[in-house]
Amino acid sequence: MGINEAFDSLQKTVDEDIAKTRLARERRDLFKEALRKEPDVLKTFGSGSLSRSTQLKPIHDVDIVVVYDPDEHPEWGSSGPSAQEALEYIRSQVNRLLSQSAGTHATVIRHTLVRNHAVKCFLDDIDDPEAFTVDVMAALRQPDGSLLIPEKLNARWVSANPEFLIDMVAGRQRDWSYFRPLVRLLKQWRLGVPVKGRVKSLVMEVLALQCLPESGNRAKGLKTFFTAAAVRVHEGVWDPAGLCGEIQPDLDRQGLSDALSEAADLADRACTAADEGNTDEALRLWQEIFGDDFPAPAVAPKRTGSTIGAPALLTARPIKDAPQG
């Protein structure tokens, strides 16, 4: 197996099944369609990783943004109780349109919860650990194109621009067809790195925007990414739109940098091995980075004088960063 075929195989283990992805989009679009017909709604659009096609499997939730007409809700957008009031309004609206018992557009919502920025709508039993949910967020369009969204816990409205990130990712994908697939690989990779706490998937996506190249093959692109990101992460990873601040203030920067540096070293050795025609060694090094889902030949058993003629003993292959989830 060649390097490209091995990356193709790994990609298949990371990407969600197309039928499940299509179902998630259909559920999202059902909410968009129902809310778009409301007289106080100007626009609805998908947000989150599914809208950027950078989602990992399994897809358990999707996000939509509902842009309301400010003339219909003049009290919204100011600090105070209007943040929670807006969320309660959405909750009532989606239940009227889509509740399982009496929805006028469809009967799909079994339960709703008001969260800090959005209303979480359960399409399955709330006690089901794999329940599919749709997060619905209210927004008001600002003159500069950004949005104001409610923040219940602090009784205020905050600025955000999810469309900016959607456009950035789409642009990078147009320039390099490997961009989105590699973002998904990197999101999967981060699940196995030895850091304190966890690394948010959006951290990896923004690092990818900053550190992945815009052309070339996947191996060289990942080598470039790991090398650059190991340094870049020390600066913190911030909202590309410049509105929401640092994406993960409690990120273990040193731990992630160490993991990126180790991956950069392995990737460099893998690229060198490939350039020298040693494909098997290159595959084994990439497997050290991505775990057993990356196909590679087993290490050849060593033979000594005392074992000549005896059954071969297989040496365990060291595995690092085995993917989780």
DSSP code at position 42: E
DSSP code at position 129: T
Residue 192 predicted with pLDDT over 70: yes
- Average confidence (pLDDT) over 7-30: 96
Residue 36 predicted with pLDDT over 80: yes
- Average confidence (pLDDT) over 90-118: 97
Predicted local distance difference test score (pLDDT) of residue 301:
65
Residue 29 predicted with pLDDT over 70: yes
Predicted local distance difference test score (pLDDT) of residue 22:
96
**What band does 307 get if pLDDT is binned at 50, 70 and 90?**
very low
Predicted local distance difference test score (pLDDT) of residue 323:
37
Domains of the chain, CATH where assigned:
16-160 (3.30.460.90), 166-290 (no CATH)
- Average confidence (pLDDT) over 126-139: 94
Residue 69 predicted with pLDDT over 70: yes
Residue 282 predicted with pLDDT over 90: yes
Other CB atoms within 10 A of residue 220 CB = 15
- Average confidence (pLDDT) over 298-303: 70
Angstrom CA distances, 314 to 295, 301, 322, stand at 17, 5, 20
Q: How many Å apart are CA 180 and CA 170, to the nearest integer? A: 9
